[in-house]
Structure 1
Amino acid sequence: MIRRTSEIAASAALCALLLLSACGGGSDETWIAEVNGQQIPISQLRRILEARFELEPDVSREDILNEELSQLVTQQVILNRAHELGIEVTQREADTRLRKLHGNDFSGIDSEFLNEIRKQMLLERTELEDLADRIRFPESALVLYFEENRRRYRTPERVRIRQIVVEDEAKARQLRAQLGEGADFATLAAEHSLAPEAGEGGLLPAFARGEMPEVFDEAFKLRPGGLSRVLESPYGFHLLRSETRIPAHDPELTEVRDAVRMELQQKRLAELRRGWLRGLRRNANIRVNERLLETLL
């Protein structure tokens, strides 16, 4: 299924009314809708519908059709606006976004998916370009928002630990005894642990209370260097060793200014998006090839 930004999804209901009332197209069998002369191939919509119908068999096919057609037309309206503004996304920029999503392994990723990433980036940039002047905030607004939401930027206490996970309790107790006699935890983890981080000596990334399964709450009772008792979970039997404790931190605005600004901008964009899309659609010439709609149900 074609991926879309959550911003575009939010506009589907509004766009549906416009699409369903639009006039029908001609006899051309290759396009399902047209936006200012830019045609949307029926094959594109058909691929999306086939996936949705299979994934959501209990949902009305007509509702799915209207929603997905609305999405595609909304996308095309914005892409037309991107062309007017001269906004582009280079291959290198799309590759950079792809690496953020999938790392450096591009195997199994085809050109169609890469084109979809470029399209998504165009949608995002066009919205930001059109609304840029309305999402700028003075320092006073940042200060006020930060003070009202200071607790949201607080970093809770975190711990970093090593763990060993084995299948049976007897083996866990045997390893616990070896550790008590001075054996190296990282070495035993590499040799015996079933957990994926065994190759790193059982070392886990730092985490806060509640971010991991309940068994890891025991880590917050340990001092650095401390060793847990044998702990049981659905994954097996665990031994935990505390490495470091990272205290909770209440940042100042200087430390999180960019995050505060971005959050304010996203809130304002959400408020402005509906009116922006309504204006773009009002100025667009949208035609739907209604004769072909029934063939898709």
Structure 2
Amino acid sequence: MNKKTALNALLTVLALLMVGGMALQFLPGDGAKTITNAVRGEQGTPAIRVNGKAITAEKLQKIQDNNPSPFASQGKALQDDFRTFMISQVVRQELMVQAARDINVTREDVNAEVTKVREQNNLTDDAAWTDALQRVGLSDSEYREQVKEGLAVQRKNEAIEAAVPAATEQEMKTYYDLNPTLFQTEQRLRGRQIVVDDEKKARELLAQARGGADFAELAKKNSTENAENGGALGALGEGGALQPVEPVVLPEEVAAAVQALPAPGLTDVVASGGRFYVVKVEELLPPETKPFETVKEEVKTELEKSKKRAAVEAFMDEQLAGAKIEVVDPAWKYEDPTVAEVGGRKVPYSEVVGRVMQNQQLMMMMQGMEGGQLTEMVNGMLKPSVVEQLIQEYAAPSIVKAENIPVVGTRQDLVSGLIAYGGRNVKVTDEDLQAAYQERQQQFQTPASAVVSEATFPSREQALAFRQDWQGGDFTQAATAAGGIVSERGQVAPDTDLMEPSVLQSIFEGELRAVGSTSLTNIVQASDGWKVVAVTDLQQGRVLPLDEVRTSLKASLFNEKQAAEGEKFLSSKVAALKPVNKLEEVLAAQKARVGADAPADASGAQTASGAAASGTQTTTDPAGAPGVIVDDASGAASAAAEGSAAATTPAP
């Protein structure tokens, strides 16, 4: 398995684990399918007991075999991390199942779910279904037991969510006030468009518009859409005034070009659906925050979703805090120590590892790094950052309670709420705008561009004669008849590598001879002959004035200042709780336990000295004697809130 495939498989495993399942692969019929395998029951060798209920070594081995570590060649520490996370999630899965024992799931419920799974995976044939189950070591009865447990977990979560009180008026108003950008209108505009079926005609019309021609008149004479209203976007108001519209009224590609404009003006020619568009934006209207009363129901819905997720998170915290977890088979001993403490809450190391493994950049990091390099980067950069994030999250409930701030939700939701609360009073002054505008001039530069056709002649005389004689018409046809070779370069910029620097200089810096809507460059000697270039739609680069970018710049500055002030507020409140960060101790203990990374052999696998980290060791460790209690880690992945029967169905 290559690194990219392995990591993708890992992320799938994590998602399934979080909601109470375990992914195992098999290949029924004509494609790969996935079935969740819980392999319940006491049959087998007890490896770990959770509140007295055994998780068997056979179950853990099956999970490990079907979900190999993506870090097989990336060092012992990362392999140990994968093992820790895998086992800790199996333990949490067991806690979820135990917590849902009071939920009644009937045989009819199970039959309906199994039928749905079989139909979705084209396994309605009994022989195909049995074969698929056997591939992952399951009988039909074992799979039905798994489905029953998945449905119970789903309904338990639903019961917890149903008991959550409705959002209060104060909670809704606070959420609205602290998150104004969530309730804004789309950017609107007043403008006109020209739509034609021929690209060359569209470019000619664009050139005329850029030259000062009346856009509405061009639209009346040429546009295939709304020509009678001068190409107006939307209906005309009293006195023929343009009405504001949202970009969504335009085709997707055209709307994107409009939204990319930093200020009112003309788009380039945009192709969409076999037609060609030119849009003139006369006014850009900034987004506005909708009144509270108009979005109250939307606020209520979003807030109550957050409160429900928080209720499930809190429930899982309680299960973990009261859990008795015993390793009874030394071969499956794992370490999940407390990596930080804050506000009376403990952060489990497995949660740090889970965040690291779900980091979207990890796959790219794995592609070009050896095991030792990746371990150093993960331990030295990624894990410290994750621990700090988790400290903030675990501190958030205490801060909210102490400060009596009416924000609600999961730990992550509370952090977002506290940051917004801490930065709620920031202002952006004119001085701020002026300073930022001067510092960010490069952001407001519009690059030079032109649409060009390049004619190459074998001699200077031929090129000169053509330039002097051409009075308009079809440039390509005329240049070819005069002995030239024409290359249609399309739209180019001064830094393009399609043309030689001397030719580009003649376009953007040289004197041009105007011939109707087209201009000709001076004759330029190049490596392959003498050139004359036809230029249309020439746009010189410029820096947009502050007035044209004021609205967007102000919004950007406000977000930056609010985030900075909010982080400062949150950091001060977290510091007051005197958090204890034990990451260095945890990593040192891990290194002492698993040893230094061994070099990889030619196949990319670790040498024998690294095998102990893979979870298959059989030697007896005094520290791993039966009955050892693993640290009761408080806190569960918030994704447990999604625990449902979906975890029991094959992945699409």
Could you state the TM-score of these two structures normalised by the residue count of structure 1? 0.51
Cα deviation, 1:18-61, whole Å, max 9, x if unaligned, reads xxxxxxxx9945x654545364612453156515336x835621
1:278 paired to 2:317: yes
Contact 2:186–2:287 (CA under 8 A) maintained in structure 1:
yes
The aligned residue for residue 192 of structure 1 is none
1:218 to 261, 267, 285: 261
Code of the residue aligned with 1:155 in structure 2: it is: T
Cα deviation, 1:77-135, whole Å, max 9, x if unaligned, reads 11222232337987888999x9xxxxxxx6799999xx999988865653452354345
Code of the residue aligned with 1:136 in structure 2: it is: A
Q: 1:172 to 1:137 in 2, by over 3 A?
A: same
Contact 1:94–1:118 (CA under 8 A) maintained in structure 2:
no
Shift of the alpha carbon at 1:239?
5.7
Equivalent position SS for 1:70: helix
The aligned residue for residue 16 of structure 1 is none
1:41-52 matches, cutoff 5 A: 41-47=59-65, 49-52=67-70
Equivalent position SS for 1:257: helix
The aligned residue for residue 69 of structure 1 is 87
Q: Distance in 1 between matches of 2:115 and 2:202?
A: 46
Q: Distance in 2 between matches of 1:65 and 1:44?
A: 13
Q: Distance in 2 between matches of 1:60 and 1:75?
A: 22
1:18-167 matches, cutoff 5 A: 28=44, 32-35=47-50, 37=53, 39=55, 41-47=59-65, 49-53=67-71, 57=74, 60-86=78-104, 126-130=156-160, 132-157=162-187
The aligned residue for residue 296 of structure 1 is 615
Contact 1:78–1:123 (CA under 8 A) maintained in structure 2:
yes
Q: 1:85 to 1:46 in 2, by over 3 A?
A: same
Q: 1:6 to 1:28 in 2, by over 3 A?
A: closer
Code of the residue aligned with 2:316 in structure 1: it is: L
Code of the residue aligned with 1:251 in structure 2: it is: K
Q: 1:131 to 1:250 in 2, by over 3 A?
A: same
1:256 to 295, 317, 331: 295
The aligned residue for residue 344 of structure 2 is none
Shift of the alpha carbon at 1:70?
0.8
Code of the residue aligned with 1:86 in structure 2: it is: N
Code of the residue aligned with 1:217 in structure 2: it is: A
Code of the residue aligned with 1:2 in structure 2: it is: V
Cα deviation, 1:229-264, whole Å, max 9, x if unaligned, reads 248xxxxxx965589x99845334454334423443
Q: 1:90 to 1:66 in 2, by over 3 A?
A: same
153-162 vs 44-53, greater mean Cα deviation: 153-162
Q: Distance in 2 between matches of 1:118 and 1:177?
A: 68
Shift of the alpha carbon at 1:65?
0.7
Q: Distance in 2 between matches of 1:221 and 1:117?
A: 58
Shift of the alpha carbon at 1:217?
0.8
1:228 paired to 2:228: no
1:183-194 matches, cutoff 5 A: none
The aligned residue for residue 203 of structure 1 is 251
The aligned residue for residue 190 of structure 1 is none
Q: Distance in 2 between matches of 1:73 and 1:291?
A: 16
Contact 2:69–2:82 (CA under 8 A) maintained in structure 1:
no
Equivalent position SS for 1:45: helix
Identity of aligned residues (%): 13
Q: Distance in 1 between matches of 2:289 and 2:181?
A: 8
Note the residue ranges of structure 1 that are not aligned, 5 or more in a row. 10-25, 99-105, 165-170, 186-201, 232-237
The aligned residue for residue 191 of structure 1 is none
Contact 2:100–2:156 (CA under 8 A) maintained in structure 1:
yes
Structure (1 or 2) with the greater helix fraction: 1
The aligned residue for residue 101 of structure 1 is none
Code of the residue aligned with 2:81 in structure 1: it is: D
Code of the residue aligned with 2:251 in structure 1: it is: L
Shift of the alpha carbon at 1:277?
2.1
Cα deviation, 1:135-186, whole Å, max 9, x if unaligned, reads 5323343234324434431133157999x9xxxxxx965653489784759x
Code of the residue aligned with 1:57 in structure 2: it is: Q
Contact 1:49–1:64 (CA under 8 A) maintained in structure 2:
no
Q: Distance in 1 between matches of 2:149 and 2:278?
A: 46
Q: Distance in 1 between matches of 2:309 and 2:172?
A: 18
Code of the residue aligned with 2:64 in structure 1: it is: R
